[in-house]
Amino acid sequence: MLFRVFVLIQLLAIFLFTACDVDKTGETNKKQSSLAAKSISNIASDLPLIKAETAKIVQNEKNPIDHALSLVGLKRSQLSRPLYHEEGYRMMCRIPLIDQVSKSPFYLHYWADETSSKMQKAAEKGLYHALAVMAKTINGGVNYEVTDSTRTFEGNFAKAYHCLCKKHGTKPNYSIVETIENAGLSPLFDKHLALLVFSLSEASFMAKQAFSRLTKTELSFLSDRPERFFFPNDNQFNFLTAPTHVQEKVVSITRKIDFVKLLRSALLISKATDRFLDYLRSLDNSENPAHYFRDGMKRTGLLMDLPSPIGRIVVLGQNDDVYAGNGALVIDLGGDDRYTGPIAVGHLVPGRVAIAIDITGNDIYDAGKKPFSQGCGCLGVGILVDISGDDKYLAGDMAQGCGIYGIGLLTDLGGKDTYTMGLMGQGFGVFGLGLLLDTNGDDRYVITGLGQGTGSTMGYGCLCDLSGNDKYLANRNTRRGHLIPDEWCHVQGSGLSIRSPDWIKRFSLYGGIGLLTDKTGNDLYFASDGNCMGSSYFMSIGSLVDHEGNDIYIPKNGYGLCYAVHLSNAILIDRKGNDLYFGGTHTGGVASDRSIAIFVDYSGDDTYGPSEEYVRKMIKTKADKEGHKLSEIKLKDRIQQKMADVSFASALKPKGLSF
């Protein structure tokens, strides 16, 4: 009898799988699951009925699927496909979470609250835990657990270097091995440096395997112009409605990348980096040279610059250094340093892994307007860690925690820091993961667009700040350079994608997941243009969660502050504080066609504006300063232009859901 029950369950599973016209990664809702569970739990007491129903299923040739579903309390209509089918879209690069929140709007609320808290707790533990949270979000059905390869390694730095060369198919230079042995490193520093190098070797080998199926031509197509996905033909980004031929080619190539291996590579090296950071934290005084050298004497300048098959291994001393390279491993022991090159960038060679760790000092990372720097993974993995000091980060495009066909992480663990860059960074991911993590200090984030926790197709971008009175600023109008953004900023917890102008005949693409999470502090969020502050455009998720503080939100030209359009999902949550929400049209929880917008403020004496009185005062003050008066009619026209219309829980077009 038990065998018959087992056969019936298998039969039901086959019928259900056939009826469900969704990807394997799609999930049924909680009601469906509970009904199914109830039916299975009662199966033992209904054996005679089961036997009879089994016979009916076999005999019912007309519609056995509907009959099988009825046994577990389901209808075929409940196994719904994503809403884009109603509009006739042909979609690719599906992310299961986007469909899940589209089907269950209030799950979006739960997900954003839960994920923000998880990310903050993980960030306090280390890089590995934060990256693991992101990996599970982008595809929870894949196991990304990694084996700690250092458990099998015993030896010093020289032996680790020897193993690295052998692992990657080159003969070790024994004169270099002798140089390492004569460097006078302290036993403990030598040991932890060896573990880091050994893990770097393993991670690099794994990352190279992730790209092994791509031809040289395909690798060149992705690496020569990685921004091509957004700028396929020229320097102008036209995301709203544009031909998708180039994007389709990008997708066909990226399908050959083994993203599971790439993520495992990043997790492996991030775990090793966390271990190295734990060692540094255990030191009573990280500036004491006795921790690093046997003779206890302070060393300055370039201490090591060793060639290796995966890139140079560099150790800098405890004075104020200037470094212009991009080593596979760069460790600076102290001083107010200046980095002028593409530091911590996995880009020069496909499958490259690059790490940079600066222990102390008020440092300047100045890449000028050059792209690819400061924790960028482009067909590779790039990790930059600055442990302490008031630091300045200046870069062009694709920097400061940017993952494009790769994984990029920037972590600053202390100090009042300033981050300034162009496009695609400060937590930006497309076909990859990008994370900017800052643990404390009053920080200033400045970007032109496409960043500060933004994700696009098959990507996840996150900016996580744990404390401090921070400023998040985005102004697309300041851009004067190679790549020009479209009319929106796409920043501060946003998602976006690209749709074909004739979507009935051409493919459109799922977007990604964007998250900006800020734990404490009185923060300012400003964006000159739309898709900002927990907003999303087309088949994406945009989320901003601020946990505590008296915060100010100013989407200057509107179309932000939790705005969702074209089958998209947007959420903004502010947990505590007396906050000011001030924006123009389409702002404050607005959902357009088949989209979801959820705007939540849990507590505090808040202001939702602008009010007519405020706008009148603002316009008159400006007119007085300019030395002219406005007629009452003209003043009313100006006021109407500045007022927030279609705002604060407005729903538009078919099936817009706004809360």
Mean pLDDT of the 246-255 span: 92
Length, in residues, of the chain = 659
Helix axes 105-125, 127-138, angle to 10 degrees: 160
Mean pLDDT of 119-125: 95
User: Residue 174 class from Cβ within 10 Å (0-12 exposed, 13-18 middle, 19+ buried)?
Assistant: exposed
Range with lowest mean pLDDT among 73-82, 248-257, 577-586, 611-620: 73-82
Q: What is the DSSP string of 563-588?
A: EEESS-EEEEEE-SS--EEE--SSBS
Dihedral class, residue 8 (left if φ above 0, else alpha if ψ from -120 to 50, else beta): alpha
Tell me the two tokens of residue 240: 């709203």
What is the model's pTM?
0.84
Mean pLDDT confidence for 231-249: 77
Tell me whether strands 313-316 and 302-306 are parallel, antiparallel or unpaired: antiparallel
In percent, how much of the chain has pLDDT > 90? Answer: 51
> pLDDT of 308-352, one tens digit each?
999 999 999 989 999 998 899 999 999 999 999 999 998 767 899
Rounded distance between C-alpha atoms, residue 135 and residue 157, angstroms: 31
Q: What is the mean pLDDT of the chain?
A: 84
pLDDT tier at 12, thresholds 50, 70, 90: very low
Residue type at position 480: R
Q: 258 exposed, middle or buried (CB, 10 Å; 0-12, 13-18, 19+)?
A: middle
pLDDT tens digits, one per residue of 346-371: 876 789 999 999 999 999 999 988 89
Q: From residue 651, how far is each of 106, 109, 545, 586, 659 by CA, in Å? A: 16, 17, 22, 10, 9
